[in-house]
Amino acid sequence: MRLTEFNELMTTEFGVSRADSILVDHVLTEFGGRTGAQAIDDGVDPRDVWVAICRDFDVPRRRW
């Protein structure tokens, strides 16, 4: 998944302010306690980060 697509999904699902906050503040345990932004910076595919965020925030599976 391209980063632009990831950002679009985040803002569509959560809104701009909340998406930005989730990305930099929410710790994803499945990525060793990194935030989504840190995981992406470390080379994790944005798709994997998207799926992890969806799980943590109970986003319906059809939106993944």
pLDDT tens per residue, range 8-55 = 999 999 999 999 999 999 999 999 999 999 999 999 999 999 999 999
Q: Which pLDDT does position 64 carry in this prediction?
A: 61
The vertex-14 CA angle with 8 and 19, nearest 5°, equals 70
The model carries a pTM of: 0.90
Contact present, 28 and 56 (Cβ < 8 Å): yes
Calpha distance 2→25 (Å, rounded): 21
Residue 30 CA to residue 12 CA, distance in Å, equals 23
